[in-house]
Every structure is written in C-alpha cells, then in structure tokens.
C-alpha cells in the first residue's frame, strides 16, 4: 500500500509566480502539467497590492504552492488503508514526496534519518493512526543511548530527526490521514552551548610544519587562514583567484551525498547561504603557494597529457588532476594528526581555529562573521562567545587601569 503514490514517475511539480497588476490582492499563479496537459490555477495570497509587502506575498504564494502540490499528488485512500498504514512505511513514502523540492545534499540527510526512523517504528508495528507523543519521546531517548562503540547521537542531531517527523505528520494532516500532530507536543530540552575544539597559534604552526609536502598541505593552510568550510575549500577553482587584484572569491562548493543508496560527489555554483558568497583579500603567503601550485599543475598536465583529469579547473587536486573528495580530506587529516601525535581535532575544527585566532588578535565578532561567511551575527556569537573571555578580561583591565590612574 502506497498512500503518497509512486512519485518517482508520476509526481506533479507545481511552479508559482505572483500577479498584482489590476488586482486588489496579490494572486498566486500556479502552473503544472497533468496527464501531459498544461494547467493553471490562481489563488489569492490575501496580501493587498497597495500598501502590502511584495516579499510577504511571494512567501505566501510559496506556501500556497507547497500546499497545492501536496493536495494534487495525494491519491484517494480508504479508511481501512489508513488504519493499517505503518508509521515507518508512511515516513518512507513521505520521503519520496520531498525529493523533487529539495537539494540532493538535503535529501541525503533526510534519507539517512528517515530510514532509521522507519525501521525503528516498523519493528514495533506502530501505525500512523495510533502514533502517540510518548512513542516519539521513547524514540528520541533511544537515539541518545550509546551504541556498542560507546557513541551516541547528539541532541542537536535528534532535533533534525524531529524536524523531519514533525513535517511529515503535518503533511499527513493535510492528506487527512490523521487529525492531530503528536510531534507538536514534544518538549525539547535546552541545548548546552557548543564549545568548538580548536588549535591555538602555536598548535597551528606545529600542524603547518608536520604537514609540509603532505598532499593536504595546501588544504590545511587555506582552511586555517580563511576558515573555509570543507565544501568551499574543495570547490575552489583557479577562476576564483585574482592575482592582479589579490583576491579570493568563494562561489562554488563540492559536497558528497548518499542518494538512493549511491554515494556521489555533488558540485554546485552556489554557496551555503547568500553571505557565504564572499570575496576576501589574498594573503601574501597563500598567494605565493598558489602561484607555485599553479606552475606545478601546468607541469603535471604535460606529464599526464590526455589522462589529466582536471577539466573543471579545481585548485586542490592530485598530481593526475583528480579531485580529492571531501571525505578523503577528513580521513587523511585524522590519520596525519594521529601519526604525528597532535591534539585530536577534526578538519572542520580548522575553521574554528581560524575564528579563535582572529578573536585573540582583536578582530571583532562582526568582522569574523563576514570572514567566515555566517548567515547572521548570532551564529558567530553563539559558537565563539566562550572565546571572548580573554578579550573581555583585557577590556576590564584597561578600564580598571584608567580609573586607577585617575584616582591616584
């Protein structure tokens, strides 16, 4: 039984635009193809054209589109089918409804979480109709239990599981499969502040020394100086470097995702968010290394000839031009610091190390936000506020000294 239909082959995709000319309210203009025929539908957003917000109208139109797309793809379901539908089976079917509307990397995260959720609830035989808030709470408690290797899922990750479940149940209400959402009653505990591991300046310099002539040398240096996300680092192309203006631009990413059980590299001319797209000054030492790397790649192209792989013109590649996958960077970095006996951190923690070094050298949070490409100031402040202790103490000492001089 498949409540949400076989969406791989028959899912109807709906697009939307807004129209306001000659109208009292902005209209959501829906377009879609059904049985090979182009169809149209108009619904009001309720946002007035005169005095209303066009941005708000667009957001409302997108809500209308999502709701309409859900309704138009929902088949008729008997009461008997509704009663028998296992929650785990529904989650897997719901997952397919999300695929046309989200990015591959997002779908990969959904898929991993949903499949685990599905197995848990199907093993218990819990139906969608009979699902209770207590069942979900037991599941979240189960996820927090350490596995045979002593590892457990962090609560922030469990909240992502919950987000998938909550959304799927909201959609189930729209499909008239259930009347209320049991996930809405879950109370999340307060998340403790995340303390990002990092290297100080001395530890970074030690890392730079032991990584000389390693295939990750340039990866480590650029990540530490610019605090790039791994996807941004791997996605750097020669066209992103302007040696005349001495700038480096972050505009392309490379990630990995498991989609329908197949592991693949995903390349996008799009950063994580708008502020992640940024142009930064080219640091002299990095400029020198990049020029040397560029020359080395020219020689490698001559050596490998037609078998040289770097058609996309990426910067961080092997001798034969093949891209070093994001997962390989993480694993090889872990091996390197373990072999050399350095403090254990992950490759991602080089981003935190960069932020820590900036803060320690008097760079304020706003500037760090712009350097790292965080979407908003609160993200930067929440992650690195604990590192401000030393700078605050310097400020306190400066004020104390000033008043002491005045009273002397």
> pLDDT, tens digit, for every residue of 292-349?
999 999 999 999 999 999 888 999 999 999 998 888 999 999 999 999 999 999 999 9
Q: What proportion of the chain, given as a percentage, has pLDDT over 70?
A: 83
Contact criterion met (CB below 8 Å) for 372 and 348: no
Contact criterion met (CB below 8 Å) for 266 and 256: yes
Distance of alpha carbon 232 from alpha carbon 323, whole angstroms: 13
- Across residues 136-164, what is the average pLDDT? 86
Distance of alpha carbon 6 from alpha carbon 363, whole angstroms: 54
Contact criterion met (CB below 8 Å) for 256 and 327: yes
Whether 109 has a pLDDT exceeding 70, the answer reads yes
CB atoms within 10 A of CB 70: 16
CB atoms within 10 A of CB 94: 24
Whether 95 has a pLDDT exceeding 80, the answer reads yes
Domain boundaries, the chain: 1-75, 77-192, 201-348
Distance of alpha carbon 384 from alpha carbon 349, whole angstroms: 12
Whether 108 has a pLDDT exceeding 70, the answer reads yes
- Across residues 368-376, what is the average pLDDT? 77
Which pLDDT belongs to residue 76? 61
Higher pLDDT, 387 or 105: 105
Total-model pTM: 0.62
Which pLDDT belongs to residue 6? 38
DSSP notation for 165-213: HHHHHHHHHHTTS-SS-GGGG--PPPPPPP------HHHHHHHHHHTTT
CATH superfamily of 201-348: Intergrase catalytic core (1.10.443.10)
Tell me which residue of 204, 156, 192, 193 sits closest to 356, measured CA to CA: 204
Distance of alpha carbon 156 from alpha carbon 148, whole angstroms: 21
Tokens linked to 86: 């296992």
Print the SS3 string covering 32-95: EEECCEEEEEEEEEEEECCCCCHHHHHHHHHHHHHHHHHHHCCCCCCHHHHHHCEHHHHHHHHH
- Across residues 376-399, what is the average pLDDT? 53
- Across residues 177-189, what is the average pLDDT? 88
Distance of alpha carbon 20 from alpha carbon 48, whole angstroms: 9
Question: What's the burial of 80, exposed, middle or buried (CB within 10 Å: 0-12/13-18/19+)?
Answer: exposed
Phi first, then psi, for residue 280 (nearest 5°) are: -125, 155
Tell me which residue of 77, 78, 95, 90 sits closest to 127, measured CA to CA: 90
Distance of alpha carbon 110 from alpha carbon 118, whole angstroms: 12
Please, what is the average pLDDT of the chain?
83
Which pLDDT belongs to residue 1? 47
Distance of alpha carbon 145 from alpha carbon 151, whole angstroms: 8
Which pLDDT belongs to residue 127? 94
Tell me which residue of 202, 277, 267 sits closest to 235, measured CA to CA: 267
With cut-offs at 50, 70 and 90, classify the pLDDT of residue 63: confident
Which pLDDT belongs to residue 299? 95
Helix (H) or strand (E) holding 383: helix 377-384
The DSSP call for residue 342 is: P
Which pLDDT belongs to residue 10? 63
Whether 405 has a pLDDT exceeding 50, the answer reads yes
SS3 content of the chain, % helix, strand, coil (to 5): 55, 15, 30
CB atoms within 10 A of CB 270: 14
Whether 379 has a pLDDT exceeding 60, the answer reads no
- Across residues 68-78, what is the average pLDDT? 71
> pLDDT, tens digit, for every residue of 235-274?
999 999 999 999 999 999 888 876 666 777 888 877 665 6
Which pLDDT belongs to residue 319? 93
Per DSSP, helices labelled H in 259-317 are 284-304
- Across residues 102-129, what is the average pLDDT? 88
With cut-offs at 50, 70 and 90, classify the pLDDT of residue 220: very high
Tell me which residue of 250, 197, 257, 202 sits closest to 226, measured CA to CA: 250
Phi first, then psi, for residue 297 (nearest 5°) are: -65, -35
What's the topology of domain 77-192? DNA polymerase; domain 1 (1.10.150)
Q: At what angle do helices 389-407 and 349-360 cross, to 10 degrees?
A: 10
Which pLDDT belongs to residue 9? 46
Which pLDDT belongs to residue 261? 65
Distance of alpha carbon 240 from alpha carbon 315, whole angstroms: 9
Which pLDDT belongs to residue 393? 52
What is the β-pairing status of strands 247-250 and 37-48?
unpaired
């Amino acid at each position: 039984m498949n409540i949400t239909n076989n969406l791989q082959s028959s899912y109807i995709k709906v697009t939307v635009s807004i129209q306001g000319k000659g109208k009292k309210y902005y209209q959501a203009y829906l377009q879609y193809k059904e049985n090979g025929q182009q169809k149209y539908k108009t619904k009001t957003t309720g946002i007035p054209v005169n005095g209303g917000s066009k941005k708000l109208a667009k957001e409302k139109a997108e809500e209308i589109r999502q709701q309409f797309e859900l309704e138009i793809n929902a088949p008729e379901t008997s009461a008997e089918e509704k009663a028998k539908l296992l929650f785990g089976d529904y989650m897997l079917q719901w997952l397919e409804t999300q695929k046309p509307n989200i990015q591959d990397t997002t779908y990969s995260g959904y898929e991993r979480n949903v499949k685990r959720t599905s197995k848990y609830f199907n093993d218990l035989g819990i139906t969608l109709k009979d699902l209770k808030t207590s069942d979900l709470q037991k599941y979240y408690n189960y996820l927090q239990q350490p596995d045979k290797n002593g590892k457990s899922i962090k609560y922030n990750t469990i909240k992502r599981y919950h987000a998938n479940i909550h959304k799927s149940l909201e959609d189930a209400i729209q499909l008239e499969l259930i009347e209320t959402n049991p996930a809405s009653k879950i109370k999340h505990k307060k998340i403790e502040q995340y303390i990002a591991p990092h290297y100080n300046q001395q530890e970074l310099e030690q890392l730079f020394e032991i990584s000389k002539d390693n295939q990750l040398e340039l990866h480590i240096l650029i990540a530490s100086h610019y605090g790039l996300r791994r996807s941004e680092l791997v996605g750097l192309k020669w066209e992103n470097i302007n040696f005349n203006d001495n700038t480096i631009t972050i505009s392309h990413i490379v990630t990995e995702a498991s989609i329908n059980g197949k592991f693949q590299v995903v390349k996008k001319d799009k950063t994580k968010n708008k502020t992640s797209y940024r142009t930064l000054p080219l640091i002299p030492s990095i400029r020198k290394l990049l020029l040397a790397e560029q020359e080395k790649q020219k020689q490698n192209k001559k050596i490998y000839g037609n078998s040289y792989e770097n058609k996309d013109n990426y910067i961080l590649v092997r001798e034969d031009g093949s891209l070093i996958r994001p997962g390989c960077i993480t694993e090889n970095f872990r091996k390197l610091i373990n072999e050399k006996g350095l403090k254990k951190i992950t490759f991602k923690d080089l981003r935190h190390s960069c932020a820590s070094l900036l803060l320690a050298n008097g760079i304020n949070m706003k500037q760090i936000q712009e350097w790292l490409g965080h979407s908003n100031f609160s993200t930067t402040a929440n992650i690195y506020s604990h590192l401000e202790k030393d700078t605050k103490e310097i400020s306190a000492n400066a004020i104390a000294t000033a008043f002491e001089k005045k009273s002397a």
